[in-house]
Chain A
Amino acid sequence: MSQSISSRNIKSALAPNPAVGGQNNESSNSLGDFIQETLALTQRLFIQLQRRPSTLIAGIIQPFMWLVLFGALFSKAPAGLFGSDLSYAKFLAPGVIVFTAFSGALNAGLPVMFDREFGFLNRLLVAPLSSRYSIVAASTIYIIALSFIQTAVIIFASAILGAGLPGIVGLSAIALIVFLIVLGVTALSLGLAFALPGHIELLAVIFVTNLPLLFASTALAPLSFMAGWLQVIASLNPLTYAIEPIRYIYGHGDWAINSIVMNTPWIGFSFGSVILVLLGFDALILLAIQPLLRRRFA
């Protein structure tokens, strides 16, 4: 203990001043406060990432291995099996993009859960946050940014492995789809982080959701390969609605908003209607987690 508490200026430094911050501050406005606290909380997550980058590194290595290993698994499959003009590399890239974004988003609740368990969340809950949704907003911004980094790396790696590279409009459309699927799944995970008793339970939910949803989607094989009952499940799986339009973009340079990008056993979906389905999925999840968050944030 080389330094002790300084008595210099101690009075002015410690005197109470109710005018500091929020309520009594004339210049305060709640939107400004919300932005300030959200940015500060987001910054914390990025400082953590910068000093502990292992999650991001693993999150980039893993999809790369999916691409290489699954690509090799089916590399001798008969030509035309995955669609008339699709190589398996081209077929696989959209599945890996969406699945990687989905897994990252599904884990979004873990840091919040650990903050709860270590008591750091209490530090946030005793602060006069303009809205406690800033905690949710910060995590969402962080996860979406991470997903974009991962997506960019996968697209780049797939291009090298022979999947080709969509045009700038195609890339923007992919970004929009990734954004929509990540938003919904992140919200779901954050909702669970506040609702479940601890990280063991959250991990259990992640384990039972993650891979089954991968195999019950069109990430690795087209609908036509599947048993009838699995086709039904895959056609209800939001991941499929994210994978198929991206796959269409990879396969067709001339796609448009009304191109039929996806055929379920019942009906075909155009690009526009797939986006609407994803928006609906997000809206549903955001509505569903409201009661969970309100219970914690009341």
Chain B
Amino acid sequence: MAAAVLIKNLRKSYGDVPAVKDISFTVEPGEIFGLLGPNGAGKTTTIRCLCTLAKPDRGKIEVGGISAIASPKAVRQRLGYVAQEVAIDKVLTGRELLKLQAALYHLPKKSIGDRTNQLIEVLGLQDYADKKTGTYSGGIRKRLDLAAGLLHQPEVLVLDEPTVGLDIESRMVVWEFLQALREAGTTVLITSHYLEEIDALADRLAIIDQGVVIAEGTPSELKDKLGGDRITLRIREFTPYEEAEKAKYILESLPFVENVIVNTVQGNSLNLIVTSGQNSLSKIEQSLSEVSLPTFSLAQSRPSLDDVYLAATGKTIMDAQIAASSSRDLKKEKKQQMK
């Protein structure tokens, strides 16, 4: 069976600025695949190339084995696209917008009414469908756009940053809906710069940074590859620095401890990286009590996707996000995308 989405050695520049340098990944049928990365990493450009809105400079793009460059129309029929900023005609009602979209995807005229009603019901839009879309909240607008993207029962639904700007409740609604969509057999490709979102939803993911893929796999694969568990230890609520240093000295001698840092910003707590599956917590507690050091709190966690990103790029996604938003000229980018 052909991959639901295949992207290979994709490159795309706007002017002389490379938005995507070399991106390759494969989305298998029926999975939720996440593209994770800070703003400006090249996620949206990749999606624009996939959805035939932009022509790649080079590289291969296939949907269900069909080339997006050679047969764009066939690919458009197979994709549903939910853009980051929902462009809706404020004067139309939700129902009118859905009917317009149904006609653009050539649904048989007789079935348009039924299909529209069905999606209005599934997305819980009954109270809003006959109001003008200009009156909608962000969450309702996103639901309408989900309905619009699914009218023609596409094989792959592509969502670009689907929960940016949504309140937590609306975000949960979108998450649950995407999971239901996967249950029903639709492949989902989602981009996000929210770690939790990709971690919670994606069966597999690719992490993108500065136009290249820096890691691809399942969330747990990527974290396991990074190795070790993270342990945060507080000796007291506010630990004196000397005591923390003493504890660090003792813990560093334990065979399963790989690295210890005294985090002076967080009340001299200790951050440890330990080999997984060693019953580390009780051993740490024991060796501390042997030198009469108390334990205020002790927490163990798997590495997060942020740790994966951190290990590959030397910065957290949040840092990259802040750096990107201060250096980007969004107006210029928009102009170039309009070309």
Contact = CB atoms under 8 A, between A and B. Distances in A.
Interface in B101-138: 101, 103-109, 118-119, 121-127, 132
Contacts of A127: 76, 101, 104-105
Interface residues of A, number: 55
Contacts of A51: 91, 132
Nearest to B102: A40
A7 B123 CA distance: 9
A130 B104 CA distance: 9
A41 to B, nearest CB: 7
Contacts of B57: none
A130 B106 contact: yes
Contact of A20 (B76, B107, B169): B107
B73 A23 contact: yes
A54 interface: no
* Candidate in A4, A7, A24, A130 with the most chain B CB atoms within 10 angstroms: A4
A129 interface: yes
A62 B180 CA distance: 55
A9 B122 contact: yes
A122 B54 CA distance: 11
A3 B125 contact: yes
Interface stretch (A112-120, A163-171, A217-225, A260-268): A112-120
Contacts, number: 161
B89 interface: yes
B267 interface: no
Contact of B100 (A13, A33, A43): A43
B11 interface: no
Contact of B87 (A13, A17, A44, A118): A118
10 contacts: A1-B170, A11-B184, A16-B154, A23-B77, A25-B108, A39-B103, A43-B100, A44-B96, A123-B104, A129-B73
Given A16-B153, A18-B155, A25-B106, 16 more contacts: A1-B169, A1-B170, A4-B124, A6-B122, A8-B121, A14-B181, A15-B153, A15-B186, A22-B106, A25-B108, A37-B104, A51-B132, A116-B338, A117-B338, A119-B83, A298-B55
Interface of B: 51-53, 55, 64, 73-74, 76-79, 81, 83, 85, 87-89, 91-92, 96, 99-101, 103-109, 118-119, 121-127, 132, 139-140, 143, 148, 150, 152-156, 169-170, 173, 176-177, 180-181, 183-187, 335, 338-339
